[in-house]
Amino acid sequence: MKVVMIGAGYVGLVSGTCFAEFGAQVTCVDVDQAKIDALHDGRIPIYEPGLDDMVARNVREGRLHFSTGVAEAVPEADLIFIAVGTPTRRGDGHADLQYVYAAAKEIARHLAGYTVIVDKSTVPVGTARHVERIIREENPDADFDVASNPEFLREGAAISDFTHPDRIVIGVESERAETHLRSLYRPLSLIESPILATNLESAELIKYASNAFLATKISFINEMSGLCEKVGADVHAVAKGMGMDGRIGSKFLHAGPGYGGSCFPKDTLALTRIAQEHGVSVRVVEAAVEANGAQKARMVRKIVDAMGGSVAGKRIAVLGLTFKPETDDMRDAPALAILPPLMEKGAQIQAHDPQGADEAKSLLPDGIHYCDDPYAAADGADAVVLMTEWNAYRNLDLERLAKIMNGRAFIDLRNVYDTATLQHAGFNYACVGR
Ligand code: NAD
Ligand code: UGA
C-alpha cells in the first residue's frame, strides 16, 4: 500500500514510520523545511525513544520517504493521513482546524485514482465531513472517501502504543475505505488488536471522550490526594484499593502536579466547546479541567509552605520540566504553570531536564538558570522540587544532595520517593497525598 502522512510531528512521524515497518510505502510530508531537512540528514526532530533506529531502518530499506510537498506522492497514494496539529484556538478554546483544512485543500488538487483521506489528527465531530466538502469543492472529479482514524499513542511510549494498541478505531462510510484501512492495519489484526469500525461522528467523539475520561480519572485522584493530606490517608493506598476493582482499573490513578501535555488540556477544553455548541452540558469534564488548574495552584502553595511560608530570595532546584518523562515536549507542562508564580514571589530557579531544556527556555520566563545535571541544579539550593519523574531522578544520591544543598526541603510532586527514606537522609519531605 502507498501511504502519505501529512504532518511529520509526534503522531505523523511515529505513525508513518510504523506503517513503513508494517511494509507500506510511506511518504511523510511536512511544511516545516527544517524538520524535513533534518530527517533527510538522518536526524530525528523530536525525542521519542526507539524512533531513530526505526526511521533509519525503514529509510535504508526504501519504504520511508520525506518531502515538503504533496505533489509527487499524493497522486500515487492509496491512503492519505492528515496528522497536523489541532491546537487550542486563541481566544475561545475551540480546536483550531486551520492546518487540517489547509492540508485538505492542498491534497485535493493532486488526487488521482481512488484515495482514502483519513483524519488522524484529533478533530471535533463533523470535521471529516467538512474535509470531504473542501476536497469536493476543490476537485469535483476526485474519486475519494474520507475516514476518521484517531490516534491513541502516548508520547514516550509511542512506538509500543502504536504497534500494540488496545484498539484501532476507524470511522468509515464505505466498504471500500474500510477495506483499505483494514488492509493497512492487517499486521496488527494478526496480533489480535481489535478494530472497531463506526461512523465518522462516533470515531471523532471516541477520541475526545477517551482523553477526557483519562483526564477526569487523573483529576479525580488529584482531588482525593488533597483530601488524603487532610485526613491522614495515603493516596497510593487509596489508588491501589480503588484500582483493584476491575470496573475502575489501576491505570491513570497516579496523583501528581496536574496533567499537562499537548493533548489532555486542549482536548478537554475542546470537548467542552463542542458540547456548548450543541447545547449539551458536560459538567464532569468542566470540573476535571477546573480541578486540574486548582491542582497546579495547590502545588505552588505546597512548595511555598514546605519552604517555611516564603520563597523570596530562596533558590529552588527543579528536576524535570517536560510534562512527562521520555519526551522533549513542553506543551502545557505543569512546570509552565508552577514556576512563574514562584519566580514572581522572588524564588530563584535552577532547573535540569534531560531533554526539554531547549524548548523550556522559549516558554518559561527569563532568569532561570539551566543546569547540565541534577546535582548542578541542587548546588546551593534551599529546596529540591521533583517536577517530572525522569528515571535519572529516581535514584538520586541523597547524601551528595544533602552535602551540596543549602536547605533541606525536598518536594516530590510525583511521589517517587518514600517519606521514611527521605527523612532518614535528613530531608524535610513533602509529597502529594501522603
Ligand atoms: P505536532 O505539532 O508535533 O506536528 C504537526 C506537524 O504538522 C508539524 O510538524 C507541522 O509543521 C505540520 N503541518 C502543519 N500544517 C501542515 C500542512 N498543511 N502540510 C504538512 N505539514 C503540516 O503535532 P502532534 O503532537 O503530532 O499532533 C498532531 C495531531 O495528533 C493533533 O491533532 C493531536 O491532538 C493528535 N494527537 C497527538 C498525540 C501526541 O501524543 N502528540 C497523540 C494522539 C493524537
Ligand atoms: C495522552 C493519552 O494517554 C494518549 O492515549 C493520547 O493519544 C494522547 O494523550 C493524545 O491524545 O495526545 P500523553 O499526553 O502523551 O498521552 O501522555 P500521558 O501518559 O497520558 O500523560 C498525560 C499527562 O497526565 C502527563 O502530564 C502525566 O504526567 C499525567 N498523568 C498521567 C498523571 O498525572 N497521572 C497519571 O496517572 C497518568
Question: How high does pLDDT run on average in the chain?
Answer: 97
- For residue 159 and ligand 1, the question of a CB distance below 6 A is answered with no
Length of the chain: 434
Give, in degrees to the nearest 5, the angle at Cα 37 between 32 and 42: 130
Which residue CA neighbors atom 12 of ligand 2 most closely?
263
The number of folded domains in the chain is: 2
Q: Please give the pLDDT value at position 132.
A: 98
Which residue CA neighbors atom 7 of ligand 2 most closely?
152
Ligand nearest to the CA of 291: 2
174 lies in a domain? yes
Q: Please give the pLDDT value at position 189.
A: 86
Q: What is the arithmetic mean of pLDDT over 366-372?
A: 98
Calpha distance 170→245 (Å, rounded): 30
Q: Please give the pLDDT value at position 223.
A: 98
User: Domain containing 143 — which CATH number?
Assistant: 3.40.50.720
Calpha distance 379→176 (Å, rounded): 63
Calpha distance 28→6 (Å, rounded): 6
Banded model confidence at residue 225, pLDDT cuts 50, 70, 90: very high
Domain end marker among 177, 198, 219? 198
89 lies in a domain? yes
Question: Are 182 and 326 part of one and the same domain?
Answer: no
Instruction: Please give the residue range of the domain that contains residue 60.
Output: 2-198
Give, in degrees to the nearest 5, the angle at Cα 164 between 160 and 167: 130
pTM of the model: 0.97
User: pLDDT tens digit string along 178-187?
Assistant: 999 999 999 9
Domain end marker among 198, 229, 246? 198
| The pLDDT of residue 366 is above 90 | yes
Q: Please give the pLDDT value at position 180.
A: 98
Cell of 167: 484498539
**Choice among 28, 263, 371, 431 that is catalytic:** 263
| The pLDDT of residue 230 is above 90 | yes
Considering only CA atoms, which of 425, 423, 426 is closest in space to residue 434? 423
Question: Are 178 and 323 part of one and the same domain?
Answer: no
Q: What is the arithmetic mean of pLDDT over 102-127?
A: 98
- For residue 127 and ligand 1, the question of a CB distance below 6 A is answered with no
Domain end marker among 152, 172, 198? 198
Question: Are 299 and 190 part of one and the same domain?
Answer: no
Calpha distance 345→149 (Å, rounded): 46
Pair 43, 7: CB distance under 8 Å: no
